[in-house]
Amino acid sequence: MTSELPVGHIERTQFSIYKLQYRKGEQIARALYRVADTLVAASSKTNTDLLEAINSVQWIESSNSLIFAGTAEAIAKMKELIADIDVPLRQVLLEMLILETDITDSLNFSTNVAAKFGGGTRLVRKPSYQERPPCQLEYRLRESALFQTLLLRLQT
């Protein structure tokens, strides 16, 4: 049984479980194994306790955790190394606005906006044959220069 343990001295061997937050355990384990290979190839004076701790890493898929064994110093270094690797992925936020409108709504809105933002402090509405409150999303599109240019081309 003692020959299966990753560390030479059974008295100093401790176990630790690290709950991953952002990455999958198999990705972290592979990265740790590559670090161990690099350490072995780079120097003959490698910290064997750390290498044995890295080689003892097992991924617990159900909880996305890593369990490993080693000395207290090796476990502390492992936790630090894993924390440096387990960082959030960079993400890009895409915000899209898709609208359906017609010329009548556009002209009605343009009149309302001009009355509201034309130097006055209150909204003065022109009566319209279609009394429909414009959608908040429509405001953004109608304020854009591209929309106004398109509207002018449609009117001519």
Least confident of 32-36, 73-77, 106-110, 131-135: 131-135
Measured N-to-C along each axis, helices 103-117 and 136-143 cross at an angle, to the nearest 10 degrees, of: 80
How far apart are the C-alpha atoms of 72 and 16, rounded to whole Å? 10
Give residue 108's pLDDT: 59
**Location of each CATH 3.30.1370.120 domain in the chain:** 2-85
Residue 5 has pLDDT above 60, yes or no: no
Distance set, CA 26 to CA 31, 58, 65 (Å) = 9, 9, 10
Which tokens sit at 26? Answer: 């198999």
Measured N-to-C along each axis, helices 103-117 and 145-155 cross at an angle, to the nearest 10 degrees, of: 130
- Encode pLDDT of 112-156 as tens digits: 555 455 555 555 555 444 554 544 445 555 566 666 777 777 776
Residue 67 has pLDDT above 50, yes or no: yes
How far apart are the C-alpha atoms of 72 and 7, rounded to whole Å? 11
Q: What DSSP state is assigned to residue 66? A: E
Q: How confident is the model at residue 95 (pLDDT cuts 50, 70, 90)?
A: confident
Q: How confident is the model at residue 63 (pLDDT cuts 50, 70, 90)?
A: very high
Q: Comparing C-alpha atoms, which of 69, 64, 82 is closest to residue 9?
A: 69
**CATH of region 2-85, choose from 3.40.190.10, 3.30.465.10, 3.40.50.300, 3.30.1370.120:** 3.30.1370.120
Give residue 3's pLDDT: 46
Give residue 136's pLDDT: 47
Give residue 66's pLDDT: 92
Higher pLDDT, 112 or 106: 106
Residue 109 has pLDDT above 70, yes or no: no
What mean pLDDT is predicted for residues 36-55?
Answer: 81
Q: How confident is the model at residue 19 (pLDDT cuts 50, 70, 90)?
A: very high
Measured N-to-C along each axis, helices 145-155 and 136-143 cross at an angle, to the nearest 10 degrees, of: 80
Give residue 129's pLDDT: 44
Give residue 104's pLDDT: 64
